[in-house]
C-alpha cells in the first residue's frame, strides 16, 4: 500500500529527527495493561464563534484523535488503557498529552520528537463545514515497525493510521501479525480515495480479531448493503460488529449473531460516537459480559458522546463513580461534560 504523496513524509532517517521517551511517570505497570491504543492525535483549531477561517478572529484549541478517544473512554470504564503515539516536543504536544493524561490514560509509551511537529488541523465553518489538515511530516507520521507497543490483551488500531505514511502502514501490519488486535475501519476520504482504501482496509480488517465498521462506510468501500453482506466479505475476524446508526448494531461472534437496537438519543452533535461505541464494546468484552450486554454498553457509551459537543464525554453513573463500577452493569452511563474532538469528515 502506498499512501497519497501529501500524507507520506520523508523516512525518519532522512529527517534527522531526534526523539525521546515521554518524561511522564508511568501510571501503571505495563504488565497490567489491557488495551494499547495506537495512532495519531492532533490539535484542532475552531473559530469561535463559528465563522469562516478567512475572517480571522478568536478560536478554540482542542484535541482530536480516534485511538486516544477510545483510550479515554476505556479508562473511564475502568479498563487499564495506554495510548501509543508520537508528538512534537512542543507546546501543542504538551497540550495533547496533558488532556489524555487527565482521563487516566497511561501515556508512558508516547515519544516526543524535537525535530517534527505535532499535527494540526483547522475547522472552517460555513454553509458546508470543511476541514484543513497540516499533518504531513508530523511526529506521528514517523510511527513505524520499531515503535514500542507494550504487551496488552488487545491492541486497538484504526484504518486512519495506515493512510498516514508507509512506516505507519508497516506498524499496523506488524501488530496485526503479532498481536490480538481490534480494528476500527474508520475510512477517511480526506486521506485516500475509495479506490485506494477499499482493498487495503478489507485486507487489514480481515486479519484483525475484533472489527468495528459502520454499515454506511462498508457500503462506500465495498458496496455491501446488509450486515450479513459485510460478514460474508470479512469472514475471518473472531468478532465483527456492524453499526447501523440509529437502527442498532449487529455482532457476528463465535456463538452466533446478535442484534441490539440503538436507544433513542437527543443528539447534540453526531461526532465521535463510533469511537465511544468501540470503547464500550471492548470494555464489555474484556469483562466477559454476555454479547447483548457488550452491545448495550457500546450503545450507552456512544449515547453519552452524542449528548455533548465534546467527543470524550465525562461518563457518570447513577449512585457511583464510573471508575469504581464493573462495565456493563445495569446502571445507565450518563454524561457530565467533555473534551472537544472533531472526527475527520469524509
Q: Which of 106, 113, 275, 311 is catalytic?
A: 275
Q: What are phi and psi of 220, to 5 degrees?
A: -65, -45
Give SS3 for 259: strand
Whole-number Å distance between alpha carbons of 142 and 170: 11
Does residue 275 carry a catalytic annotation?
yes
d(CA 157, CA 171): 10
Nearest C-alpha neighbor of 133 from the set 229, 31, 64, 183: 64
Closest CA to 187 of 161, 155, 226: 161
Chain position carrying cell 486516544: 68
Tell me how far apart the alpha carbons of residues 157 and 179 are, in angstroms, rounded to a whole number.
11
A 10 A CB-CB count for 168 gives: 27
The residues that are catalytic are 275
Amino acid at each position: 500500500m502506498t499512501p497519497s504523496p501529501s500524507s507520506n513524509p520523508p523516512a525518519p532517517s532522512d529527517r534527522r529527527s531526534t526523539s525521546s521517551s515521554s518524561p511522564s511517570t508511568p501510571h501503571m505497570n505495563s504488565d497490567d495493561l489491557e488495551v494499547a491504543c495506537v495512532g495519531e492525535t492532533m490539535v484542532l483549531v475552531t473559530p469561535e464563534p463559528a465563522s469562516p477561517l478567512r475572517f480571522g478572529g478568536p478560536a478554540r484549541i482542542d484535541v482530536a484523535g480516534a485511538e486516544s478517544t477510545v483510550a479515554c473512554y476505556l479508562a473511564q470504564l475502568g479498563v487499564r488503557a495506554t495510548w501509543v503515539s508520537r508528538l512534537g516536543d512542543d507546546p501543542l504536544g504538551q497540550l495533547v498529552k496533558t488532556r489524555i493524561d487527565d482521563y487516566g490514560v497511561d501515556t508512558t509509551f508516547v515519544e516526543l520528537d524535537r525535530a517534527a511537529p505535532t499535527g494540526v488541523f483547522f475547522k472552517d465553518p460555513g454553509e458546508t463545514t470543511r476541514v484543513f489538515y497540516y499533518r504531513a511530516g508530523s511526529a506521528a507520521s514517523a510511527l513505524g515497525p520499531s515503535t514500542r507497543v507494550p504487551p496488552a490483551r488487545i491492541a486497538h488500531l484504526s484504518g486512519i493510521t495506515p493512510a498516514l505514511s508507509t512506516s505507519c502502514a508497516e506498524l499496523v501490519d506488524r501488530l496485526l501479525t503479532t498481536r490480538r488486535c481490534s480494528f476500527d475501519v474508520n475510512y477517511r476520504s480526506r486521506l485516500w480515495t475509495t479506490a485506494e482504501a477499499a482493498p487495503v482496509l478489507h485486507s487489514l480488517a480481515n486479519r484483525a480479531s475484533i472489527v468495528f465498521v459502520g454499515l454506511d462506510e462498508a457500503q462506500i468501500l465495498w458496496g455491501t448493503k446488509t450486515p450479513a453482506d459485510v460478514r460474508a466479505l470479512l469472514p475471518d475476524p473472531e468478532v465483527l460488529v456492524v453499526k447501523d446508526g440509529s437502527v442498532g448494531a449487529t455482532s457476528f461472534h463465535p456463538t452466533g449473531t446478535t442484534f441490539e437496537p440503538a436507544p433513542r438519543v437527543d443528539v447534540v452533535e453526531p461526532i465521535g460516537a463510533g469511537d465511544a461505541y468501540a470503547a464500550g464494546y471492548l470494555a464489555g468484552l474484556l469483562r466477559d459480559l454476555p454479547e447483548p450486554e457488550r452491545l448495550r454498553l457500546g450503545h450507552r457509551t456512544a449515547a453519552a458522546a452524542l449528548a455533548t459537543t465534546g467527543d470524550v464525554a465525562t461518563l457518570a453513573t447513577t449512585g457511583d463513580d464510573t471508575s469504581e463500577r464493573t462495565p456493563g452493569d445495569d446502571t445507565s452511563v450518563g454524561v457530565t461534560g467533555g473534551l472537544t474532538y472533531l472526527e475527520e469528515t469524509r
